[in-house]
């Protein structure tokens, strides 16, 4: 029996990879469902754009993420990512073009052809056609449902962990993992039925990368701040204003949007901002997924499952 | 260089924002040789003193921490942030920023002087982020500041010393006050220029943090600052309008016109 701690993206991907290899396991999470940082994620599978600032390892881990998710959960959209900048921040687009691959330069016509509602709003954009996005909440529920079908228990009480323990608790595992730190993120869920956008939009922003991910039916996830902080309180007015101003800069129709939800959570990160599997106090830990949980968790989970299901080497006679 | 009676082994100061990761930041600080790093304090980050993982990583760099009041728009906000920073980081040093315009991020000189007066009275060692205006500089010294940090160009623009003549005049005017060029530097050559002009040090962030290879760029800035300072101490030659031969004529063959015919 294997016990996976944590039912966020790291835990559920790990449990899925193990269950698919026929391993007996269960998942323990204090709950309630929806409480962890994974539920606030953008769900962008954007290895190309993220390679600005992230080490190449992140793009490598994320290269097959869209395929992994599409094989297991509904709603994986492969429509690419569109990056725009206010006219005066055009230098930021040039910089991003230099630092990343897999993009095309678009002019106003190109932007209008992809997203008609953005016609005339931006002089130029970068389009990353190979990228994808998903709705994290739908994806996590689908993984949990898939696990239950394979008779994997997901328990929200706290029975003692049995057997090999794989700790995927994110920032909650900080006590056991010296060096793991929290990077606070804040987001909003908006309803703006006047606007039709079909792919993640990023706005180059001087302080943090602002993105807007369509969730369908007029819903948009707007995120996310990056604050080196352990604070767990609600979103601040400053962060709200910065996010809202960015949305309004993307399209003034957002002025009429309803703010359905605001959220804040703590991303777990190692000093190099790279995720890793480690063994501490007899437990395996998968942690430090930072802002790349949905992008890197599948590859990490598959690696981890391969490692622990590999047969023991035979003893020499 | 001594600031507030503290000897510093390097004339370069680095900001700590916008790096790809804290590890890259730590490597950049080490490569640059910077003796001081600035840390901006956001209110929501101050909740649990000592627990912030980012700050403990910054402490491990060994550089002296200079908290700053980045993003503060009023006297009250800047003063509160400075007091919190003293608690959190255990230092009286504060880089005082009071922003007058959210768009240009220009210092508000009036609020800056007022906040500096309050903080120096409370025992802070205030390093004010100011413009090249001489009278504002005098008022800041009157308020108790013993260092001035004029801008090179607006924050994050990488334009270099936009008002080089005014900065040169400032250097002449405040001969005995440590002057640190803060903000606007985009290239090591600009940092070297500031040092050649006799500024005591430079503080920068974006040019290193957002470089393709921040660690290499940090090293480049460290070398440029050292080179610029050395050049200043060595004494730069004054520019001339006319060419002057640098090779001695003595001993050259005198062929005369006949010889060429």
Residue A314 has pLDDT above 60, yes or no: no
Alpha-helical (H) ranges within chain A are: 9-20, 47-50, 56-62, 65-70, 90-99, 108-114, 136-149, 237-250, 293-309
| Catalytic residue flag (residue B95) | yes
Mean pLDDT on A19-38: 91
Catalytic residue among B86, B95, B139, B171: B95
B98's CB contacts (< 8 A; 6+ apart) are B69, B72, B73, B74, B75, B78, B107, B108, B111, B112, B115
* The pLDDT of residue A31: 82
Question: Which of helix, strand or coil describes residue B108?
Answer: coil
Residues in chain A with CB shorter than 8 Å from the CB of B54 are 181, 183, 228-229
Mean pLDDT on B46-51: 54
Whether the CB of B260 is below 8 Å from some CB of chain A: the reply is no
| Segment B61-71, tens digit of pLDDT | 899 999 999 88
First to last CA, chain A: 29
Distance separating alpha carbons of residues A286 and B116, to the nearest angstrom = 48
CB interface of B with A, residues 54-73, below 8 Å: 54-57
CA distance B98 to chain A (A): 16
Going by the DSSP 8-state scheme, the letter that residue A89 receives in this structure is: G
Mean pLDDT on A85-96: 87
CB nearest to A206's CB, from B24, B43, B156: B156
Residues in chain B with CB shorter than 8 Å from the CB of A55 are 20-21
Contact state of B212 with A53 under an 8 Å Cβ cutoff: no
Residue A261: alpha-carbon gap to chain centroid: 18
Selected residue of B38, B41, B42, B49 to mutate for chain A interface (largest A Cβ count, 10 A) = B42
Distance separating alpha carbons of residues A43 and A139, to the nearest angstrom = 9
* The pLDDT of residue A221: 97
Contact state of B44 with A236 under an 8 Å Cβ cutoff: yes
Mean pLDDT on A250-266: 95
Residues in chain A with CB shorter than 8 Å from the CB of B53 are 179-182, 228, 230, 269
| Segment A199-219, tens digit of pLDDT | 999 998 766 679 999 999 999
- Reference A266, options A289, A243, A285; nearest CA is A289
Residues of chain A contacting B, Cβ within 8 Å: 53-55, 95, 98-99, 179-184, 206, 227-231, 233, 236, 269, 271-274
Q: Which residue of A has its CA nearest to B54?
A: A228
Residues in chain B with CB shorter than 8 Å from the CB of A184 are 44-45
CA distance B242 to chain A (A): 40
| Segment B132-181, tens digit of pLDDT | 999 999 999 999 999 999 999 888 888 999 999 999 999 999 999 999 99
pLDDT > 70 in chain A, percent? 97
CB nearest to B22's CB, from A182, A231, A271: A271
Range A12-40 burial, b when 16+ CB lie within 10 A, else e: bbbbbbbbeeebebbbbbeeeeeebbbeb
Confidence of residue B253 (pLDDT cuts 50, 70, 90): low
Whether the CB of B176 is below 8 Å from some CB of chain A: the reply is no
* The pLDDT of residue A144: 96
| Segment A294-307, tens digit of pLDDT | 999 999 999 999 98
* The pLDDT of residue B83: 93
| Segment B69-91, tens digit of pLDDT | 988 999 999 999 999 999 888 89
Whether the CB of B243 is below 8 Å from some CB of chain A: the reply is no
CB nearest to B48's CB, from A98, A180, A230: A230
CB nearest to B44's CB, from A180, A233, A272: A233
CB nearest to A99's CB, from B21, B42, B212: B212
Is there a contact between A287 and A11 (Cβ–Cβ < 8 Å)?
no
Distance separating alpha carbons of residues A145 and A154, to the nearest angstrom = 10
| H or E element, residue B221 | helix B214-234
Selected residue of A271, A275, A287 to mutate for chain B interface (largest B Cβ count, 10 A) = A271
Confidence of residue B250 (pLDDT cuts 50, 70, 90): low
* The pLDDT of residue A310: 72
Contact state of B54 with A54 under an 8 Å Cβ cutoff: no
Residue A161 has pLDDT above 80, yes or no: no
Residues in chain B with CB shorter than 8 Å from the CB of A99 are 212
Residue B254 has pLDDT above 70, yes or no: no
Distance separating alpha carbons of residues B196 and A193, to the nearest angstrom = 59
Residues in chain A with CB shorter than 8 Å from the CB of B52 are 181, 228-230
Contact state of A182 with B210 under an 8 Å Cβ cutoff: no
DSSP class per residue in A27-76: EE----TT-SGGGG---EE-HHHHTTTS-HHHHHHHTTHHHHHHTTSS--
Residue B226 has pLDDT above 60, yes or no: yes
Give B230-239's long-range contacts (Cβ < 8 A, gap of 24+).
B231/B192, B231/B195, B231/B196, B232/B195, B232/B196, B232/B197, B232/B198, B236/B196
CA distance A273 to chain B (A): 6
How many helices and strands in chain A, by DSSP H and E?
Answer: 9, 16
Distance separating alpha carbons of residues A224 and A210, to the nearest angstrom = 6
Mean pLDDT on A181-208: 90
Neighbours of B173 (CB within 10 A): 13
* The pLDDT of residue B219: 97
- Reference A247, options A94, A121, A96, A119; nearest CA is A121
**For helices B109-121 and B134-142, angle between their N-to-C axes, nearest 10 degrees:** 20
Range A269-301 burial, b when 16+ CB lie within 10 A, else e: bbbbbbbebbeeeebbbbbbbbbbbbbbbbbbb
Mean pLDDT on A116-131: 94
Residue A311 has pLDDT above 70, yes or no: no
Residues in chain B with CB shorter than 8 Å from the CB of A272 are 21-24
């Amino acid at each position: 029996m294997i016990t996976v701690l944590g039912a966020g993206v790291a835990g559920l991907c790990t449990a899925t990879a193990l269950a698919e290899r026929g391993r007996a396991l269960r998942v323990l999470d204090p709950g309630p469902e929806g409480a962890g940082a994974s539920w606030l994620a953008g769900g962008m599978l954007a290895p190309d754009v993220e390679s600005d600032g992230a080490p190449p390892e992140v793009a490598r881990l994320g290269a097959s993420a869209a395929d992994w998710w599409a094989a297991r959960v509904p709603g994986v959209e492969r429509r690419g990512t569109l990056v725009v900048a206010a006219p005066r921040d055009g230098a930021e687009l040039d910089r991003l073009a230099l630092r990343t691959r897999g993009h095309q330069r678009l002019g106003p016509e190109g932007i209008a052809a992809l997203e008609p509602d953005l016609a005339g709003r931006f002089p130029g954009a970068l389009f990353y056609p190979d990228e994808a996005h998903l709705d994290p909440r739908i994806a996590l529920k689908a993984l949990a449902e898939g696990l239950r079908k394979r008779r994997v228990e997901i328990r929200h009480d706290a029975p003692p962990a049995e057997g090999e323990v794989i700790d995927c608790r994110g920032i909650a595992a900080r006590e056991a993992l010296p060096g793991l730190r929290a990077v606070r993120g804040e987001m909003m869920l908006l309803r703006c039925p006047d606007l039709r956008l079909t792919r993640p939009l990023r706005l180059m922003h001087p302080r943090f990368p602002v993105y807007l991910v369509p969730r369908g039916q007029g819903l948009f996830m707007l995120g996310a701040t990056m604050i080196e902080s352990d604070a767990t309180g609600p979103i601040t007015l400053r962060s709200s204003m910065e996010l809202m101003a960015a949305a309004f800069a993307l399209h003034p129709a957002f002025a009429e949007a309803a703010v359905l939800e605001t959220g804040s959570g703590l991303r777990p990160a190692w000093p190099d901002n790279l995720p890793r599997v480690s063994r501490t106090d007899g437990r395996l830990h998968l942690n430090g997924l930072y802002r790349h949980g949905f992008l890197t968790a599948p590859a990490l989970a598959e690696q981890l499952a391969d490692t622990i299901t590999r047969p023991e080497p035979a003893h020499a006679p | 260089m001594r600031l507030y009676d503290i000897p510093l082994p390097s004339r370069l100061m680095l900001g700590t924002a916008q790096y790809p990761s804290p590890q890259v930041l730590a490597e950049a600080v080490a490569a640059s040789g910077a003796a001081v790093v600035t840390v901006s304090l956001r209110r929501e980050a101050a909740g649990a003193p000592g627990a912030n993982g980012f700050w403990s990583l910054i402490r491990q760099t060994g550089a002296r921490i200079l908290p700053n009041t980045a993003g503060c728009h009023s006297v009250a906000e800047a003063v509160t942030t400075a007091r919190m920073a003293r608690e959190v980081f255990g230092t009286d040093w504060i880089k005082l920023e009071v922003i007058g315009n959210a768009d240009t991020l220009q210092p508000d000189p009036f609020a800056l002087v007022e906040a500096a007066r309050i903080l120096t009275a409370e025992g802070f060692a205030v390093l004010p982020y100011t413009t090249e205006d001489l009278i504002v500089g005098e008022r800041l010294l009157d308020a108790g500041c013993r260092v001035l940090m004029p801008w090179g160009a607006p924050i994050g623009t990488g334009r270099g010393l936009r008002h080089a003549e005014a900065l040169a005049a400032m250097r002449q005017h405040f001969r005995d006050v440590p002057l640190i060029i803060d903000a606007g530097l985009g290239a090591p050559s600009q940092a070297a220029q500031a040092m050649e002009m006799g500024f005591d040090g430079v503080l920068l962030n974006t040019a290193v943090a957002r470089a393709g290879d921040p660690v290499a760029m940090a090293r480049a800035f460290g070398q440029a600052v050292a080179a610029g300072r050395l050049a200043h101490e060595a004494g730069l030659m004054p520019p001339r309008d006319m060419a002057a031969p640098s090779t001695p004529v003595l001993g050259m063959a005198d062929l005369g016109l006949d010889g060429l015919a």
